[in-house]
Amino acid sequence: MTLEALPNDTRMAPRNGAYEEGLSGTNLERAGDHNQRVTLQAIRARGPITRADLADITSLTAPAIANITRRLLNDGLILKAGRLTGGRGQPATQLVVNPDGAFSIGLNIDRDHITVVALDFVGQVRFRISREVHFAMPDEVRAFVAETLNTLRRKRLIDFDRLIGMGIGMPDDLGRVRLPNRPDAYGVWSEIDVPALFTGLIDAPVVVENDAAAAAIGEMQFGHGLQSRSFIYTLISAGLGGGMVINGHYFRGADGRSGEIGFLPIPGEAGIEHTLQDAVSLYALYARLTTHGFAASVPADLENLSPQAQSVVDAWLDDAAQYLYMPFLTLNCGLNPEAHFIGGRMPAAIIDGLCDRLNALYARLSDRRLPPIAPVRRAALAIDACACGAGILPFNERFLPIREALMKSA
């Protein structure tokens, strides 16, 4: 188990980028909440920022911006950060998001670990704890979360009066997919009401999302997505998953499984059909190392490898790049994204090695009729991508711009 409290003065630097595009308010019916969300997002992405600049970015009127920012200040969601001097007239007040304005809990449940993070309102991790445990049962997960919340309360690491919710990221098929050494009782994860499992632990809503979707949403709101409005996200964890962000919005697809490539069939030995995640996942890499005599069952085992073990990893990376080459190319041609990000619990050097191999393969393409191939890069939210992405879900539901804010109910 690893446990870490993080200093609250370590902030994510303000970023200028793609989030400026599309940050516009509207005068449509039921749009008041949307306008506040857009204004808050503009402050988060561009702060410190003046009200005049907010009006320019959002296309809202000066009185509308004045009213919205007054509410945000009164609610403690933003702060005044001094005045902008050097121009004519009265110096303009600059505004920033208040890191202590709201908090959330992110929980990632997977077949090989449980991770909990506490996030502040700028997406900074104030606290994290992770337990490497294979096939943890629901009662064990609940006890772990309860213990973590007690630690947060006892040490006063976050303000529980400003806790707006807990997000949970977990595979859709957590209790269904058969894996080596998986106990039969683990199938209970397909039967239980996951939000109800945590009833009584916090006085705030609980939202559940597919782990890859949570990671992609986290990358969209607090990672490289601030510069790239359309991207593919691939998550390499105990399994293999993915998601898509199009024009600054997470694209769920008809069944909520956009970018899900882990179950694509691939040929196996003796004509036996396997799936892509059987070859490209943490469990697949562990199995490759174990077959060659190197014990590996947790991500830490992949650090500081011997030259002999590293050669096994390098061979696996060569194979993984070949397996992913065509699925990634197909996604790229279908979506025409700006970037393709890979995240997960693998060490950064291994993800970088996979990205390098894929980019080298795509560099050999000579057919100029193909759309440009988006570069494959390691995601900004890598090892804790799912937990952080899950923690961002409550912010997404309550504060960040979403198209649903403008949709009329039937």
| Sign of the torsion angle spanned by Cα atoms 84, 90, 96, 98 | positive
Q: Report which listed range, 73-87, 117-131, 379-393, is most confident.
A: 117-131
Residue 198 lies in a domain: yes
**Number of domains the chain contains:** 3
| pLDDT at residue 86 is higher than 80 | no
Per-residue pLDDT reduced to its tens digit, 35-59:
999 999 899 888 899 999 999 999 9
How far apart CA 230 and CA 396 sit, in angstroms, is 18
Residue 409 belongs to a domain: no
The answer on 367 and 246 residing in a single domain is: yes
Same structural domain for residues 245 and 351?
A: yes
Quick one: pLDDT at residue 157?
95
Say whether both 270 and 392 belong to one domain: no
CA atoms of 126 and 122, how far apart (whole Å)? 11
Structure tokens at 288: 């490759």
Question: Is residue 249 domain-shared with residue 195, that is, in the same domain?
Answer: no
Task: Answer yes or no: is 134 within a domain.
Answer: yes
Paired tokens of 269: 């030995």
Beta carbons within 8 Å of 2's beta carbon, 6+ residues apart: 128, 129, 130
Per-residue pLDDT at 356 exceeds 70: yes
pTM: 0.81
Place of tokens 């890598």: 382
Q: What is the CATH number of the domain that holds 289?
A: 3.30.420.40
What's the angle, vertex CA 174, arms to CA 396 and CA 384, rounded to 5? 50
Summarised one tens digit per residue, pLDDT across range 260-309 is: 899 899 987 766 778 999 999 999 999 999 999 999 999 999 999 999 99
Its domain, for residue 39, covers 18-98
Instruction: Output the CA–CA distances (angstroms, integers) from residue 135 to 116, 220, 289, in the order listed.
Output: 16, 29, 21
The sign of the dihedral angle between the CA atoms of 172, 242, 225, 34 is: negative
